[in-house]
Amino acid sequence: MSPLGLSPLLALAALSLVSAQDSFPKTPLANKHFTYPNLSYAIQPYRVDTDDNLLRGPQLGYNQCNSTTEGKNSLCQTSFLNSLDDFCVWAPSQPNSAVADQEGHMVAWCTKPGRGTRVIPAGALTGVQFIKTPAYVSVVGFIDQTKINIAAGDSGGEMDPHGADLRGNPLGGLVFSNAFGGDKNTFTQAIEWHNFMGSNSFCFKACDPANKDAAHFCEHVFDRIGCAYNVPSNAQNGVFESCLGDNQDFPGVYTVNGQVMTYTQPPEDQGAIQTMPYTARVPASSSCVAFKSADVFNGGVGVPVASPSASSAVSSASSTISSSGSATPSVTRSSSASGSASISTASSSPRTTASAASSTTGTSGNPQSTSNDAVTLAISGASILGIVFSALFLS
Ligand SMILES: *[C@@H]1O[C@H](CO)[C@@H](O)[C@H](O)[C@H]1NC(C)=O
Ligand SMILES: *[C@@H]1O[C@H](CO)[C@@H](O)[C@H](O)[C@H]1NC(C)=O
């Protein structure tokens, strides 16, 4: 009797042991620590994930990237988040891809050449806000996603160094930053980071590993609620600016009537997320410096430096964005932004002008939440696919 009674349990235990062995790497990606540029931990052939026999198969590309790998066919999976003019995002290696299908195989697309990656094409970025806070650096922005191989209309999903099988999305993806110390030649691995891509927009946060709350600021469980909740910001299409900022609240944590609450993301089988119990607080930013896009990406290969071509790139992207929002304010904002002085403080005209331009359209009293909501809804819609995909490979 007793063996019979135990055996289902034992069988279950044995099964889960086998399945754990088949699914999980010996060392999760987030526990692998590297220095740059000499990735001493990287095992040949030049990649940090060598768990080729696990369910998701081999890492697509490599982490040791150099002048030979650089360019439009690069499969470099080492990314950077340094500053307004020097960052990467994760995007597919093949044209017209859905983020949800490719999250495990994304490659680095960067604003600058020189680190063996792909370079984001001229005119793709139409607005970016970089913020450095005590705990992290982030970029939030607007992009013609078809120029970085994301299918038109794809509402996208989240990349982070965890994933259901702890190998990361992308598998073996690394992120470094030179923004955490004073020395721009010292690159620190951001152990915790998250990057949302989709709906012609993106946000990417790299948390300072020296901060004890890095894992909270770069939380990876809120994959369905997008940039507005994970990296709340004032980023606006047509505006390129670099700011200092306060820390945000931890994603998913909010305060109502003095009571601190934690949001729980509902399971997939309850369908699309229709309502949220809160709006994420946008942390204060300061010392913003505004740029024309051409100034910002001067170092990029093929990026037009002349203002006229930069402006037309911005305008055409603005009309792409218009399908999900308001074309007029974007165009107005971009012209006011590019017409503004290169250097201004947070309280000077570019931000104020942008807000005013937006509110005159009557679309919303709060232009920030308009653009963020579009991003949020879109990303939550698409993440359903991402989660289904994750569940499939683990089951
Ligand atoms: C890289 O680091 C490894 C391990 O610390 C060391 O053996 C190797 O010599 C280093 N290579 C270079 C080029 O510094
Ligand atoms: C450049 O990087 C690739 C991919 O990691 C590697 O295969 C190749 O040997 C490297 N080339 C040099 C010259 O280091």
Concatenated DSSP letters of 184-204? TT--EE-SSEEEEEETTEEEE
Taking the centre of ligand 2 as the mean of its atom positions, its distance from the CA of residue 191, in whole angstroms, is 24
Residue 319 lies in a domain: yes
Ligand with smallest separation from the Cα of 39 = 1
Q: Is 116 helix (H, G, I), strand (E, B) or coil?
A: coil
List, for residues 31-87, the tens digit of each pLDDT value: 999 999 888 766 667 999 999 999 999 999 999 999 999 999 999 999 999 999 999
**To the nearest whole number, what is the mean pLDDT of the chain?**
76
Q: Does any ligand 1 atom lie closer than 6 A to the CB of residue 257?
A: no
The amino acid sitting at 357 is A
Taking the centre of ligand 2 as the mean of its atom positions, its distance from the CA of residue 83, in whole angstroms, is 26
Atom 14 in ligand 1: residue holding the nearest Cα: 38
Q: Looking at residue 292, what is its pLDDT?
A: 86
Residue 15 lies in a domain: no
Residue 376 lies in a domain: yes
Q: Looking at residue 355, what is its pLDDT?
A: 30
Please give the torsion angle defined by the CA atoms of residues 252, 254, 256 and 262, in that order, rounded to the nearest 10 degrees: 40
Q: Looking at residue 18, what is its pLDDT?
A: 43
Q: Are 93 and 79 in contact (CB under 8 A)?
A: no
Ligand with smallest separation from the Cα of 47 = 2
Q: Does any ligand 2 atom lie closer than 6 A to the CB of residue 66?
A: yes
Ligand 2 atom nearest to 66, measured from its CA: 1
Q: Does any ligand 1 atom lie closer than 6 A to the CB of residue 40?
A: yes
Residue 10 lies in a domain: no
Residue 65 lies in a domain: yes
> 107: closest CA among 176, 35, 172?
172
Q: Which helix (H) or strand (E) holds 175?
A: strand 174-177
Rg (CA), the chain: 21
Q: Is 331 helix (H, G, I), strand (E, B) or coil?
A: helix
Q: Does any ligand 1 atom lie closer than 6 A to the CB of residue 39?
A: no
Q: Looking at residue 27, what is its pLDDT?
A: 93
Residue 5 lies in a domain: no
Taking the centre of ligand 2 as the mean of its atom positions, its distance from the CA of residue 122, in whole angstroms, is 27
Taking the centre of ligand 1 as the mean of its atom positions, its distance from the CA of residue 33, in whole angstroms, is 15
CA–CA separation, 343 and 158 (whole Å): 33
Q: Are 229 and 281 in contact (CB under 8 A)?
A: no
Residues of the domain holding 62: 27-394
Q: Looking at residue 353, what is its pLDDT?
A: 28
Backbone torsions φ then ψ of 199, nearest 5 degrees: 55, 40
Residue 146 lies in a domain: yes
Buried/exposed code over 6-41 (b: 16+ C-beta within 10 A; e: otherwise) = eeeeeeeeeeeeeeeeebbbeeebbebebebeebee
The amino acid sitting at 358 is S
Number of domains the chain contains: 1
Q: Does any ligand 1 atom lie closer than 6 A to the CB of residue 275?
A: no
Taking the centre of ligand 2 as the mean of its atom positions, its distance from the CA of residue 115, in whole angstroms, is 12
What Å distances lie between residue 29 and 171, 172, 182, 371, CA to CA? Answer: 8, 7, 27, 33
Q: Looking at residue 19, what is its pLDDT?
A: 52
> Residue 57: CB partners within 8 Å, gap ≥ 6?
none
pLDDT tens series, the chain, 395 aa: 333 344 444 444 444 444 555 679 999 999 999 999 888 766 667 999 999 999 999 999 999 999 999 999 999 999 999 999 999 999 999 999 999 999 999 999 999 999 999 999 989 999 999 999 999 999 999 999 999 999 999 999 999 999 999 999 999 999 999 999 889 999 999 999 999 999 999 999 999 999 999 999 999 999 999 999 999 999 999 999 999 999 999 999 999 999 999 999 998 889 999 999 999 999 999 999 999 887 787 654 433 333 332 333 333 222 222 223 332 222 222 223 332 222 222 233 333 223 322 222 222 223 233 333 333 333 333 333 332 222 222 22
Checking DSSP bridges between strand 107-110 and strand 118-119, what pairing results, if any? parallel
Q: Looking at residue 356, what is its pLDDT?
A: 27
Q: Looking at residue 23, what is its pLDDT?
A: 78
Q: Looking at residue 326, what is its pLDDT?
A: 30
Residue 375 lies in a domain: yes
- Which tokens belong to 238? 């047509």
Atom 5 in ligand 1: residue holding the nearest Cα: 40
